[in-house]
Amino acid sequence: MIVTRFAPSPTGYIHIGNVRSAIYPYLLARQNDGKMILRIEDTDRARYVEGATELIEDTLEWLGLNWDEGPIVGGSHGPYFQSERKEIYHEWARKLIATGRAYADPTPPEKIDEYRKQCNEQKIPFLYRNFRPENPPEWQPGTPLRFKVEPKSYQWHDEVMGDMHSGPEVLDDIILIKKDGFPTYNFAHIVDDAEMGVTHVMRGVEYLSSTPNYLAIYEALGLTRPKLVSLPHILAPTGNKKLGKRDGAKSVTEYRDDGVLAEAMLNYLACLGWNDGTEQEIYTKAELIKNFSLDRVQNSGARYDETKLLWMNGQWIRRIVDEQGVEALYSRTDNFWPASAASHSQEYRIKVLSIIYDRLKTLSDLREMTAYFFSDPEINTDMIINNKFLKKMPESELESLLKECIAKLTNLNNWDADSLQAALNDLLAETNKKPAELFSLIRIALSFAPFSPALNLTMDVLGKDTTLARLNAVARAI
């Protein structure tokens, strides 16, 4: 059975650059009827951020990446917070001590700095294993415990990076247990992955250079290596840097608050650095699970492109309406309407949504794009006079044109999209104006917005009274 894990450190929010280490383990586990574990790596107490675990859970839940074992859901390999597993690490550490593969290291940090300096001066690499204390004391928690490495070469296969090898020069006596009794990441993840039966260790490529040291520890503990999967960085929009919080990498849930749909976010991030070899761009979660494969994960960095994410979100907005109806999209729009929408009925809001949704990039576009449906826009005659299609017409002509429209629409008995379109067509013939001229005038007079949905639909939703009242007000003002 395939067992994967997502093992974040609760040091803040999950941002775009690191959530792929959750998505790919999820897809692989689901594809193979396996298990995904969520483990919180909170042994670095200095970097611990209160509330970060909840942010992580919230992000995964929003994206629909449910875990089979871990916080909230429990499981038979708990606890799932490393800070609660101290005894387990100490037990495993004692196994290494018993076989002579770990030693207590009372050397004070200043002394270690001195060794490092000596090496720098002699221009030789600093390897702590060359300075091992001769007679280490018996280990007691409170003293750092180090691995006693055997320098040698390693070969291994990384499922994304391919065949790898390393020489003895990269191996050192790394710290297993720190002075405060907590394990280092280097040791804790090995113990946990073994205890939890993890078959695929998927994580950022930043851990690749330490892998030989991990291989040495697996060997010393007599553990079978799990499959190792290094996920390349997501690159910042420009340059060759990895996308990090300092480059403005937003938290994943900030996009939710900005009106990005979870489907689009998951789709975009999964396809950032992975493709199935076809031209397909829009994938449901089920399709991602079906089509995902590790051997098609790109081994070089993938560039983050917010424009593409927003394009994909627009595609998803339309897809939801096409497949599930406008009510399904409406049910996700709660926080995104302009304040003035609150005084209108749900039925009216759904009507507005049904004619505007195909122009939305994010749900929060609703706030600006629909304001004129809920309250009369401020009249700005300059917007009419300076419009590129209207600026040749004298104001008197604009006024008489508006009056003709008003007369026509006043006499219209059936106020529906088809009758309105027919009336607009008649008006075109009667006034001898181009569609761009006549329709721009009416559109601006009704909305004073840069664009609106098709005019007949806009008038249909606004209703006869509002439409005529707005046209009259503009005719008076011009």
Question: What 3-state DSSP class applies to 319?
Answer: helix
Q: In the complex, what is the shortest distance from the CB of residue 10 to ligand GLU, in angstroms, rounded to a whole number?
A: 9
Q: In the complex, what is the shortest distance from the CB of residue 1 to ligand GLU, in angstroms, rounded to a whole number?
A: 20
Any contact of residue 242 with ligand GLU (CB under 6 A)? no
Name the DSSP letter for residue 81.
B
How far is Cα 437 from Cα 120, in angstroms, rounded to an integer?
77
Among 189, 242, 256, 443, binds ligand GLU (CB under 6 A): 189
How far is Cα 84 from Cα 278, in angstroms, rounded to an integer?
45
Q: In the complex, what is the shortest distance from the CB of residue 386 to ligand GLU, in angstroms, rounded to a whole number?
A: 55
Considering the complex, state which of residue 217 and residue 390 has its C-beta at the smaller distance from ligand GLU: 217
Q: In the complex, what is the shortest distance from the CB of residue 189 to ligand GLU, in angstroms, rounded to a whole number?
A: 5
Q: How many CB atoms lie within 10 A of CB 476?
A: 10
Considering the complex, state which of residue 117 and residue 157 has its C-beta at the smaller distance from ligand GLU: 157
Considering the complex, state which of residue 8 and residue 212 has its C-beta at the smaller distance from ligand GLU: 8
User: Interface with ligand GLU by CB under 6 A: which range of 6-14, 164-172, 218-226, 245-253?
Assistant: 6-14
Q: Which of 159, 177, 200 shows the shortest CA–CA distance to 6?
A: 200
Any contact of residue 203 with ligand GLU (CB under 6 A)? yes
How far is Cα 435 from Cα 171, in angstroms, rounded to an integer?
75
User: Interface with ligand GLU by CB under 6 A: which range of 2-10, 98-106, 168-176, 350-358?
Assistant: 2-10
Tokens in use for 282? Answer: 């829009």
Listed in sequence order, the DSSP H helices in 64-165 are 86-98, 109-121
Any contact of residue 9 with ligand GLU (CB under 6 A)? yes
Any contact of residue 17 with ligand GLU (CB under 6 A)? no
Q: Find the angle CA(129)-CA(135)-CA(137) to the nearest 5 degrees.
A: 105
Beta-bridged to residue 36, according to DSSP, are 4
> 43 and 83 in contact (C-beta within 8 Å)?
yes
Q: Which of 282, 275, 279, 278 shows the shortest CA–CA distance to 296?
A: 275
Q: In the complex, what is the shortest distance from the CB of residue 205 to ligand GLU, in angstroms, rounded to a whole number?
A: 11
User: Interface with ligand GLU by CB under 6 A: which range of 5-13, 130-138, 253-261, 409-417?
Assistant: 5-13
Considering the complex, state which of residue 39 and residue 361 has its C-beta at the smaller distance from ligand GLU: 39
Q: In the complex, what is the shortest distance from the CB of residue 168 to ligand GLU, in angstroms, rounded to a whole number?
A: 24
Residue nearest ligand GLU (C-beta atom): 203
Q: Which of 191, 200, 158, 160 shows the shortest CA–CA distance to 32?
A: 200
Q: Which of 255, 198, 190, 237 shows the shortest CA–CA distance to 216?
A: 190
Cα 233 from chain centroid (whole Å): 14
Please list every residue from 258 through 297 that binds ligand GLU, using CB under 6 A: none
Considering the complex, state which of residue 7 and residue 217 has its C-beta at the smaller distance from ligand GLU: 7
Q: Please tell me which residue in 245, 308, 408, 464 is annotated as part of the active site.
A: 245
Residue linked to tokens 């038979």: 76
Q: In the complex, what is the shortest distance from the CB of residue 263 to ligand GLU, in angstroms, rounded to a whole number?
A: 25
Any contact of residue 71 with ligand GLU (CB under 6 A)? no
Q: In the complex, what is the shortest distance from the CB of residue 41 to ligand GLU, in angstroms, rounded to a whole number?
A: 4
> 29 and 2 in contact (C-beta within 8 Å)?
yes
Among 3, 7, 190, 252, binds ligand GLU (CB under 6 A): 7
Q: Give the CA distances from residue 304 to residues 99, 262, 362, 425, in Å, rounded to whole numbers and listed in that order.
A: 47, 17, 18, 46
Considering the complex, state which of residue 43 and residue 370 has its C-beta at the smaller distance from ligand GLU: 43
152 is catalytic: no
Q: Which of 40, 1, 30, 3 shows the shortest CA–CA distance to 202?
A: 3
Considering the complex, state which of residue 21 and residue 199 has its C-beta at the smaller distance from ligand GLU: 21
Q: Which of 317, 343, 341, 342 shows the shortest CA–CA distance to 328?
A: 317
Binding footprint of ligand GLU, residue count (CB under 6 A): 8
Please list every residue from 336 through 395 that binds ligand GLU, using CB under 6 A: none
Q: In the complex, what is the shortest distance from the CB of residue 11 to ligand GLU, in angstroms, rounded to a whole number?
A: 7
Among 8, 232, 301, 453, binds ligand GLU (CB under 6 A): 8
Please list every residue from 25 through 54 that binds ligand GLU, using CB under 6 A: 41
Beta-bridged to residue 5, according to DSSP, are 37
Considering the complex, state which of residue 78 and residue 168 has its C-beta at the smaller distance from ligand GLU: 78
Q: Which of 240, 270, 453, 241 shows the shortest CA–CA distance to 366?
A: 453
User: Interface with ligand GLU by CB under 6 A: which range of 4-12, 63-71, 309-317, 408-416?
Assistant: 4-12
Go through 46-77 and write b for each residue having 16 or more CB atoms within 10 A of its CB, e for each that does not: eeeeeebbebbbbbbeebebebebbbeeebeb
Considering the complex, state which of residue 203 and residue 349 has its C-beta at the smaller distance from ligand GLU: 203
> 158 and 229 in contact (C-beta within 8 Å)?
yes
Active-site amino acid positions: 245
Contact positions vs ligand GLU (CB under 6 A) = 7-9, 21, 41, 185, 189, 203
